[in-house]
Structure formats: C-alpha cells, structure tokens
Amino acid sequence: MTDVASWAPSGGSTRDVALEVLLQGPLSRTELARRLDLSQASLSRLTKPLLESGMLVETEPARDPATGRPARPLDVVPASHRFVGVKLTGDAAHAVLVDLRGTVLADASAALDDHDPARVIDTVSTLARTLAGDTAVTGLGVALGGHSPDHRSVRTAPFLGWDDVAFASQVEQSTGLPTVVENDVVALTAAEHWFGAGRGLRSLAVLTVGAGVGYGLVQHGRQVTHRDLGLGLVGHYPLDPNGAVCFEGHRGCATAMLTIPSLTGQAGVALGRPVTFAELLALARASEPVAQRLVRESVNALGRLVAAVANLTMPDRVLITGEGVALVDADPAVLRRAIARDRDPRTSPLDVVTRPGDFAQWARGAAVVAIQDFVLRAP
C-alpha cells in the first residue's frame, strides 16, 4: 500500500501532478504537461519519484490523441487505498466502501434507534468494520445534515438533536481510523466535483431536494467553502409569495415549496389522510386536483431556484439530486418554463442534469471527503 506521506509531497508541483492524474487520469505525459503548463523535462523530473514510489503507474500503451503516437499513459492505482463513508440520517446510518477514485465497492446500513452520540458512534464503527473485513482502510468520512465548521465536531445536527458533539475524535478512538466530519451537501458536492457530474468542469452547482433543500458550488475548479456552510441557508430562499409557510414562518421559501415533509404534509391536510411522496406523485399523474396543484407549484418553484442559481453563479452545469429529485420528471414542461421565465433569453443554454438521490450516493460523498483529507493533508 502506498505510504500515507507520499500523498503529501514537499513540492507543490509534485502534488499538482499526482492530483491531476488522480482526478483526470489516465493521462499521457503530453496531455499532463499541457494541463499543468510544464515542460517535458520538468514533468519527467516530477513524475520520476511518483513512479518509483508506486503512487503513479504506467498503463497499457495507447495512442496519444495530442501526438498520434503510441504512449503509456500515467494513472493511479485505485485499489491501493480503501475508504469508508457514512451518511447519518434521523433514523439510519448508510455506509459504503470505496476505492481511491470513489468507486463504490460495497454498502451496508443500520437503523439508528437511539440518537445518543455514543450509540451512533458504535453503529458507525460496526459498519466500518463490517465493510472493511480483512482489507486495510485508509480513512473514514461521516456526513450528516448539520454544521461542522472544523470537520471534527458537530456544532448542530437537527435531525439527530445534537449540539456541540466532539464526534470525529470519538470515532477515531473507536475505529483507529483518521476521521473527518462534514455537512452532507458539502460532501456530496465534493464527490460530484472530483469524480461525478463536475469532473473536468470549471464550475458546478449542486441542488438537493428531499428532507431539506441543499446547495453546493464549485467555481474556477475549486469548491466554495465558508464557515456558514451546513446551516441550510438556501432552504429559506423565497420562491413563491403565495406559497405555503415553513416551520420558521417564511411564506413560499424553498423549504416550504420543495421538501418532502412540507409537500406530503400539505397533501395530507388537504386530503384528510397521510400521503407518501411516491403516492403524491402518482396522484398528480392521475390528475387528482390537489396533488396536481401541489406538484405543479413545487416544480415551478424548483425551476425558479435553478434559474436563480444559474443567474447568480453562471455554472457550467446544474446538478439536481436528493430523495425528491423525482419532482424534475413530474412536470418537465413546467420546470423548463419556470427556468426560462427567470432567465435572460440571450443567455447560453443551461445544462441541467439529475442523479438519483439514494443514500449510497450521500455516503459516497462522505467517503470522498475522507479521500480529500488523505490526499490533501499537509505533511
């Protein structure tokens, strides 16, 4: 296994080479030199120790698109490291085992019947051991709907009822693994930036809809960070002055218009019985008036939020995901009209993509945060 310290080389240019191959490889030497604006001599000097250490390897010969000549592209060895990612919700812990490129190799989950931090830590530790088996694990990431300003402690996690929990250090004591804690939307954005919808792009906006509404942003090839990330600020962005009222008393905000609890709650009151999200969508497809109105208003609000994000940040792509992503397909025409209505007709076509919002993807985000902590960790 590659030495942990080898991912923190003393020279910044050496790290740039290793990171570019990790994120974009396999790459020919010609392409790698072009991307990093290096001479072939400089690239040879920088890659020599990386090849000698085994951090980089030469792959099978292939034709270099830049020169047309056969070449041996450089790549990392994804199987050289394993990471565990855990996504915590109010009722379950979902975990995955991934390789160095965030490819999911195995998954497991367990119920959270008790929100006491010690019990949750026991569950996280058990899942990590189960997934690892006899395989060495390099790091562990935990993602949750909450605020972790230092990537170690949890300042607040509403779904778990936590405030000021020293989480990472306790997980490390239990598992023996370097552990990092992150807000779930921040972690998901990291995974999409490095290994998903944002791979190779300079900018990406991520919108999540489900139990809450989340927003992540990549600009100029870097994920935007701030001490207030994880506070759910986009959840109260105003979208409809005539819309429903959220738990904070805001009328027509993103939380009121887009979250599953709000939509099913409104449907339940109107229909006089409990309604699931899947049933709400099915009723809307069957032209049930209440469901159809709620879904249409929600899709319209989603389009307005997408347009606002696009107007303010001008991303190369907008990714919509989360447990409520089915809203996108519930009424695509309404979504398109809502986006267009709030966009200047002279703007470039907006690239909007969706991804299923299963919990394995959220857990993968946690694992990618652990990968980032490993490869970017200072010596």
Model confidence pLDDT, tens digit, residues 203-252:
999 999 999 999 999 999 999 988 887 777 899 999 999 999 999 899 99
The per-residue pLDDT for 7 is 62
- Same-fold call for 4-76 versus 200-354: no
The per-residue pLDDT for 3 is 41
CATH number of 200-354: 3.30.420.40
8 Å CB contact between 27 and 35: yes
Give mean pLDDT, residues 298-320. Answer: 98
User: What's the whole-number average pLDDT of the chain?
Assistant: 93
Q: Which residues are bridge partners to 207 per DSSP?
A: 215, 320
8 Å CB contact between 175 and 140: yes
Give CA 139 to chain center in angstroms.
17
The per-residue pLDDT for 9 is 56
8 Å CB contact between 139 and 179: yes
Long-range pairs of 52-56 with CB within 8 A, sequence gap ≥ 24? 53/2, 53/3, 53/6, 54/2, 54/80, 55/2, 55/6, 55/7, 55/18, 56/17, 56/18, 56/21
Query: Could you name the CATH architecture of 81-189+360-376?
Result: 2-Layer Sandwich (3.30)
Higher pLDDT, 61 or 361: 361
Q: How far apart are CA 74 and CA 30, in angstroms?
A: 10
For residue 296, pLDDT beyond 60: yes
> Tell me, what DSSP letter sits at residue 324?
T
135: tokens are 């395989």
8 Å CB contact between 191 and 365: yes
Percent of the chain with pLDDT over 90: 85
Higher pLDDT, 41 or 67: 41
- pLDDT tens by residue, 184-196: 999 999 999 999 9
8 Å CB contact between 291 and 285: no
- pLDDT tens by residue, 86-145: 999 999 999 999 999 999 999 999 999 999 999 999 999 999 999 999 999 999 999 999
CATH number of 4-76: 1.10.10.10
**Torsion of the alpha carbons at 185, 191, 196 and 198, rounded to the nearest 10:** 70
Percent of the chain with pLDDT over 70: 95
Q: Look up the pTM and report it.
A: 0.92
Domain boundaries, the chain: 4-76, 81-189+360-376, 200-354
For residue 61, pLDDT beyond 50: yes
**Which of these, 195, 240, 222, lies nearest to 355 by C-alpha position?**
195
Alpha helices (H) along the chain? 12-24, 29-36, 40-53, 117-132, 167-175, 184-195, 254-258, 260-271, 277-285, 289-313, 327-330, 332-341, 359-376
The per-residue pLDDT for 35 is 93
CA distances to 41, 45, 46, 81 from 52, in Å: 17, 12, 11, 18
Number of C-beta neighbours around residue 336 at 10 A:
14
The per-residue pLDDT for 5 is 42
Within 8 A by CB and 6+ apart from 370, the residues are 83, 84, 85, 138, 139, 140, 141, 178, 179, 180
For residue 1, pLDDT beyond 60: no
